[in-house]
Amino acid sequence: MNILIPDSWLKEHLKTKATPKQVANYLTLCSQTVEKIKKVNGDSVYETEITTNRPDCLSVYGIARELNAILPQFGIKAKLKEIAESKKEIPQVKKGLPLKVKINKPSLCPRFTALIFKNITIKPSPKIIQERLEKSGVRPLNNVIDISNYLMLESGQPMHTFDYDKIKKATMILREAKKGEKIVTLDKETRTLPTGAIVIEDGTGRIIDLCGIMGGANSEVDEKTKRVLLFVQTYDPMKIRRTCQALAFRTEAAARFEKGVNPEGVIPAMKKARIMFEKNCGAKVASELIDIYPNPQKAKTVKLDINQAEKLIGVKITKQKITNILESLGFSLVTDHQSLITFSVPHWRYDDVSIPEDLIEEIARIYGYHRLPSNLPRGKIPAVTKDSTFEWIYQIKNAFKNWGLTEVMSYSMVSQTQLEKTEIEPKECIKISNPLTEDLVYMRPSLIPSLLMVVSENNQDEITIFELANVYLYQKIDKLPDEAPMLTGLLTGEKFYQAKGVVESILATMGINNYQFEPYHLKQTFYGKVFHPARTAEVMVKKDSLGVVGEISPHVLARFGVKGRVVVFDLDFRELAKRASKAKKYTPIPKYPAIVEDLTFVVPPKTLVGEMFEEIEKASQLIKLTELIDSYKNTRTFRITYQSPKKTLTDKEVEKIRGKIVHKLKTKFEAKLK
């Protein structure tokens, strides 16, 4: 969370000549990051990001305490001043105003303090307080409320003020909210409380405070208020956090309470508040100080081996220097046995420092990461076998780029509508419980819906795209889905053969040769429904399928609002990578000339050229190459290259093979040589 710290306020607590620029730089290098220095009326205001583990830094004083340790490391003198007001005892009052307190569960409120003031005159705060609040991003309201905000910003301890006369029967019961209970908070919002929210009920059963988050409107301080109950507490951080989450509502106070507020800081804050009430509001203490603190914080120590510090930081820092650094942060040396030193943890760091590594972090950051050398790791390079998939992915993507395809990347999540349009059953897909929008609900089991979306959303004539990404396939309730990489491409227009050509080229690039394209016949599968029943082929290697290439069914296209034809190839990249090979094979350059001739056949309708190829090639080992060079109506012209590695073929030898080809094509397909 970010806080604003005015330089002038900071320097009330820290005596130093450091310039704002130095303060910002050195605080950033060794503690909390100053994101910006803003100039406000001649003052510098540090916008500082405080990490979640350091709630002790969520205040002017907390930052001053850090700088007190940091600045001397840069050769700049700094001295942290004590808050004199926090040392002055609260006067005893005889026969004070009553307040009955009952805490239902001690863990809800580790420390409860309260003090009542009388003779209050409500008016604006002194100018300096108003200015400091404004610079810190808080709107000044009146002298009473401003005290609680001012001290929260200065000491990190949130406070709350009630109009004492609005607390019926001078009774407070601190308890957990029951389901459905409501409160109107100070901002006049009616809030339905989640079960377990910490609340205070007065003597008539009214809820008058949503503890740690915001007070109730029914007990607020207004211009007529004469007597004020000041409330300084700590709460169970988890309860505050859950309530904020459930209400989707968070205040400055709540943001501090949910990170943990130091119970030892309660009394000093209360003491300073008392002095400010007297000074700013003309108030007088009208009650005993109520302080309920059943389980005071125990002393906590952490043991450190200085050799371990060196091992982790990478440079040797002397024991003396380590001790100096930790003491400057408020730790104190308890025992010292050679390399082992034990420190007690200051109360404001109680929750965040527990193990030796925590101390090492303190040493490293104050010593300064900027002072450490940069070294590349030495030691052995791990002997792991490389996954060649990544290399293939990059090669194939580059090949696609060079073949004119454009890579798209779409979200892994799709909508129910997109699935249904593509004949996918949403029930069978991995579903997100808390999706961001209804477009991003299911983990896609196919890239096809995403690519069709690209076509439907881009108003362009010619689209040639591909995506290589995981699809997610449900397996079992206690098993992670199968994440299968798919290589899917899409071409608009009547381009089946171009798409098929791309597939053939991928297979060639990956060194996969023994494949076949077979017409896809299954009707009930996903592919059978999404692709055109008579214009789709499956890529097979023996009995394994590598994927399909085909036209998308016109019905599916219509649902996506796409006109014309669309061809898609959808390949299982794992199957491809499994069979891919970079092995090269050498075939001697032929010594004897080849004989090339063209044969044209007249074929019956729907004769598969693929099968004709197979038959031709089976005719003789001397057929080196078969190409289809022309295809018009019912004629197919093949160019056949005959070649022997041993001799120059004679016309007679070729004639014999030709005869075999013609015979085979005739008996198998009723094809006639033209």
State which of positions 360-419 bind another protein (CB under 8 A): 360-361, 364-365, 369-370, 372-382, 384, 386-387, 390, 394, 397-398, 400-413
Among 109, 465, 539, 567, binds another protein (CB under 8 A): 465
Residues 64-93 that bind another protein (CB under 8 A): none
Spell out where 50-155 has E strands.
Answer: 78-80, 100-103, 111-118
Is 661 in contact with 673 (CB distance < 8 Å)? no
> What is the CA angle 579-580-586, rounded to 5?
115
- 304-342 burial, b for 16+ CB within 10 Å, e for fewer? bebeebeeebeeebeeeebbbbbebbbbeeeeeeeeebb
Site for another protein in 293-312 (CB under 8 A): 311-312
Question: Interacting stretch for another protein, rule CB under 8 A, among 140-148, 185-193, 271-279, 450-458?
Answer: 450-458
Backbone phi, psi, residue 478, to 5°: -110, 25
Tell me how far, at minimum, the Cβ of 31 lies from another protein, in Å.
6
* CA-CA-CA-CA torsion sign (164, 168, 172, 178): negative
Q: Diameter of the chain by CA atoms? A: 132
> Using the rule CB under 8 A, which residue among 52, 192, 339, 634 binds another protein?
52
Q: Which is nearer to another protein, 364 or 595 (CB)?
A: 364
The strand pair at 190-192 and 214-215 is best described as: unpaired
Residue with tokens 């603190």: 293
Site for another protein in 343-362 (CB under 8 A): 355, 357-358, 360-361
Residues 6+ apart with CB under 8 A from 420: 426
Find the part of the chain contacting another protein (CB under 8 A) among 459-467, 588-596, 610-618, 666-674.
Answer: 459-467
Nearer to another protein, 315 or 334 (CB): 315
Kindly tell me which of 374 and 524 has the beta carbon lying closer to another protein. Answer: 374
Binding of another protein by 440 (CB under 8 A): yes
Q: Which is nearer to another protein, 440 or 541 (CB)?
A: 440
Q: Which is nearer to another protein, 131 or 258 (CB)?
A: 258
User: Which positions from 252 through 271 interact with another protein, judged by CB under 8 A?
Assistant: 258-259
Instruction: Identify which of residues 55 and 215 has a Cβ nearer to another protein in the complex.
Output: 55
Residues 310-329 that bind another protein (CB under 8 A): 311-315
- As measured in angstroms, the least distance from the Cβ of 178 to another protein is 21
Q: Rule CB under 8 A: is residue 497 a binding residue for another protein?
A: no
659 binds another protein, rule: CB under 8 A: no
**Could you identify the residue written with the tokens 């907390």?**
62
Which of the ranges 24-32, 153-161, 577-585, 593-601 carries the binding residues for another protein, by CB under 8 A?
Answer: 24-32
Residue 521: CB atoms within 10 Å = 11
Q: Residue 266: name the closest of 287, 241, 291, 286 by CA.
A: 291
By the rule CB under 8 A, 248 interacts with another protein: no
Question: Within 13 Å, how many C-alpha atoms sit on residue 454's CB side?
Answer: 23
Q: How far is the CB of 395 from another protein (least distance, A)?
A: 11
Q: Assess 435 for contact with another protein (CB under 8 A).
A: yes
Q: Which residue has the tokens 């990490």?
A: 51
Nearer to another protein, 25 or 297 (CB): 25
**Smallest distance from the beta carbon of 513 to another protein, in angstroms?**
26
To the nearest 10°, report the CA torsion of 122, 128, 134, 140: 0
CB of 213 to another protein, least distance (A): 15
Q: 365-399: buried (b, 16+ CB within 10 Å) or exposed (e) per residue?
A: bbbeeeeeeeeeeeeeeeeeeeeeeeebeebbbeb
Q: Which of 228, 463, 486, 548 binds another protein (CB under 8 A)?
A: 463
Reduced to 3 states (helix: H, G, I; strand: E, B; else coil), residue 564 is coil
* SS3 state of residue 542: coil
- What single-letter amino acid sits at 366? I
CB of 377 to another protein, least distance (A): 4
40, 184, 292, 454: residue in contact with another protein (rule CB under 8 A): 454
Nearest distance from C-beta of residue 413 to another protein, angstroms: 7
Q: Which amino acid does the sequence have at 262?
A: N
What letters, b where the CB count within 10 A reaches 16 and e where it falls short, cover 42-54? ebbbbbbebeeeb
- In the bound complex, what is the minimum distance in angstroms from residue 480's beta carbon to another protein? 5
Which of 121, 458, 516, 631: binder of another protein (CB under 8 A)?
A: 458
Tokens 């995403």 map to which residue?
450
DSSP state of 41: T
Among 20, 22, 43, 53, which residue interacts with another protein (rule: CB under 8 A)? 53
Structure tokens at 39: 């100039």
CA dihedral 508, 512, 517, 518 (to 10 degrees): -170
- The contact pattern for another protein, residues 181-220, with x = CB under 8 A and - = no contact, is ----------------------------------------
Total binding residues toward another protein, as defined by CB under 8 A: 93
Minimum CB separation of residue 8 from another protein in Å reads: 20
Site membership for another protein, residue 490 (CB under 8 A): no
**Is residue 520 within 8 Å of residue 527, measured between CB atoms?**
yes
Residue ranges in 466-485 that form contacts with another protein under rule CB under 8 A: 470, 472, 477-481, 483
CB of 430 to another protein, least distance (A): 6
For residue 627, the minimal CB distance to another protein (Å) is 23
Nearer to another protein, 183 or 469 (CB): 469
